[in-house]
A = this chain, B = another copy of it.
């Protein structure tokens, strides 16, 4: 059954989602995109048209202006557009209002990152329990499909973990998710996502699930060198991340950690800005009496993440090193994907980080439209069968591979 799609947001990830929906509009139907800034939505649709991305060329492409914090307005737009699936790739501040609109209208809901309150940098774990999971019962009651965290990480990496455990072990001991961007944007410094959101990830407490409980560290406190396919040996640091909070609930006996790759230069710039107080979301007052949030000024001087795409070179490698026991023997497997910045730009005008975040959300939408993931309740990605997901991802640009003592191969070889 064709399901019209409403995309919320008009940033770099929304651009990827729009292109991929267009390339699959034989399954998805009409494509609507809505954000606070109409011209950004129009620009994305223009780029879809420029690339002739619509599979069915007479498909509907339409831009809308919306305040996604206004749940009733989102519900009205869902009804007006006849959207059966809402892909929320707006700011993480709007998750709950958009989810409420889906519950209200019965549309399926997909997002790619956990809800955040603007004034709270880091909430207590497990993060999903603070907001999204409070809506589990009502989703089940009303038969509303809601897939949480269906980007790459969280998202595909959750499916990697589920797949590794199901296929290769009787018992899981640890899940280490490693995210390395070995690409180069050629700027002195830039963030791949909105700097405001990007830095918030690293200014709070680092929560990981180890030894059956939440462990707290500071950012950049724990680093380790990882030997990775294609990108080689890279240093990554223990980091708080959404997927730890759902995977720890599913696999409470395993250690669940997230590692993000950073070069010394990134860490140095981050440390200087953070120590000076320039990453603060609390306003300061200048000598002239102007009240201003330092983080917003840092954002204003940094390159727009979307502007990085044309010059971006190199690859990303994101995967899960999963260790466990099979037939009484210790086993380990690395399930991963390698994506290429230049290929992403050539295909849809985006950099690789946006590409890896946006494509899985569209895969999830296709699996809802086609049935396998139309769960009629709230799910995190690891709650769903990973194999149809990998099959769609293989087809639409993010192939899954496996490396273990048997060698390095496609997941289904």
Contact = CB atoms under 8 A, between A and B. Distances in A.
A275 B276 CA distance: 16
A287 interface: yes
B285 A301 contact: no
B287 A301 contact: no
Interface stretch (A26-34, A65-73, A218-226, A290-298): A290-298
Interface string A226-267: 000000000000000000000000000000000000000000
A300 to B, nearest CB: 4
User: Taking the full assembly, how many copies of this chain does it contain?
Assistant: 2
Contacts of A269: 272, 276
A296 B301 contact: no
Interface in A32-57: none
Nearest to A269: B272
Interface residues of A, number: 27
B301 A276 contact: yes
A37 to B, nearest CB: 10
A366 B286 CA distance: 37
A276 B302 CA distance: 7
A297 B302 contact: no
A299 interface: yes
Contacts of A287: 296, 299-300
Given A292-B290, A292-B292, A284 B272 contact: no
A301 B275 contact: no
Nearest to A299: B287
A272 B265 CA distance: 10
Contact of A276 (B188, B286, B288, B293): B188
B301 A284 contact: yes
A392 interface: no
A373 B102 CA distance: 83
Contacts of A285: 300
A270 to B, nearest CB: 10
A384 interface: no
A269 B300 CA distance: 19
A268 interface: yes
Kindly name the residue among A273, A280, A288, A292 whose own CB sees the greatest number of chain B CB atoms within 10 A.
A292
Contact of A294 (B277, B288, B290, B297): B297
Question: 9 closest Cβ contacts across the A-B interface?
Answer: A277-B301, A284-B300, A286-B296, A272-B272, A188-B275, A286-B300, A297-B297, A292-B292, A269-B272
17 contacts: A188-B275, A189-B275, A189-B276, A269-B272, A269-B276, A272-B272, A276-B301, A277-B301, A278-B278, A286-B292, A286-B296, A286-B299, A287-B296, A287-B299, A290-B292, A292-B300, A294-B297
Given A276-B298, A277-B301, 17 more contacts: A189-B275, A269-B272, A269-B276, A272-B272, A272-B273, A273-B276, A278-B301, A280-B301, A284-B301, A286-B293, A286-B297, A287-B296, A287-B300, A288-B296, A290-B290, A294-B300, A294-B301
